[in-house]
Chains A and B, each alone.
Chain A
Amino acid sequence: MSVFYFVAFLSIFFALMTIFTKNAVHSVLYLVITFFTFTIHYILLNAQFLAVVNFIVYMGAIMVLFLFVLMLLNLNKDTEPLKSNLIKIIGVIAGLCLVVTIAGSLKLLETSNPVVLKDPGIGLVSNLGKVLFSEFLLPFEISSILLLTAMVGAVLLAKNETKKI
């Protein structure tokens, strides 16, 4: 349990650092560390497949994409417009409302009954595969359409038009 609290503290700490740091590249790197702490959470929950996916896809691939996006931008100039204080205050109020709502629903701190982990091996790769290819087969197949859409979109947006318009 103490390991959990330590890792949870790290998650929140690095998530906050992601938001508060001024340098965009540092922000992305903090986000990588945040994701790494999530990987540790998954391992603590014995959700091994999710841990691997989180490590390879999120930390490895998607965060590299984030860095690429930053390199596409021109970060030399300080182009960030200053936000007005009013918007900041409204943002804080809205965020706190969300926190209160979530905290309110968790206030009893009861372990939710239907999903109490009866089988500690539920997060193992083979068990997950069994569910994915039986119960969740349709969403799995449909997700190929989602990937295809993203592929077409990437080609469409990044490809140079030969005809100038």
Chain B
Amino acid sequence: MGRGELLFLLKGLQWTLVLSAVGFVCGTFTGLGVALARTSGFRFLERIAAGYIALFQGTPLLMQLFVVYYGLALYGMKLHAWVAIAIGFTLHASAYLGEIWRGAIEAVPRGQVEAAKALSLGYFWRMKDVVLPQALRISLPATIGFLVQLIKGTSLAAFVGFTELSRAGSMVSNQIFKPLLVFGIVGALYFAICWPLSLYGTRLERQFAAATR
């Protein structure tokens, strides 16, 4: 494998990172909305949020990407392929993050909410200053776990022809006929990104378990 091929893989890696970052950041905002709707106390809103989460957790990410990718095209939206894919990952992330944060919000001790109410804090301030900071701490290990999941998931963008790391790997492998070497390197690159994150997540989890014991 020459320099050119290796650079091509690194270029793919760059797109994997961009896609993961966009999906995660946009998914964070929308996911927060989903989590708040899911815990809002309004039955109708909660049902919709629960249905949304169940839909995304019960279907393969690959199908979600296909449906969003071809669905947006139906509406005649002239979007760049990678924008459509980024929207797909955002929706996917919002459902999973929404469910993680719902659990975290519900795990904040009830007394905290009651105390905030007794101080006559409105919903916005109660959430922003009392509940969400604590929920964030509780949810951090699971959130990082999902980030790893998302980074690995971006490999599926290859199915709709987006050249990120995995597709770059297939292309190089078809060119130089050394699949084991190429996919070995591709796997190592993913590992180099995901493993430190996983370790960090596990460490946080252990710290949190020790703190609450």
Q: Are A and B part of the same complex?
A: no
**Which A residues fall within an 8 A CB radius of B?**
none
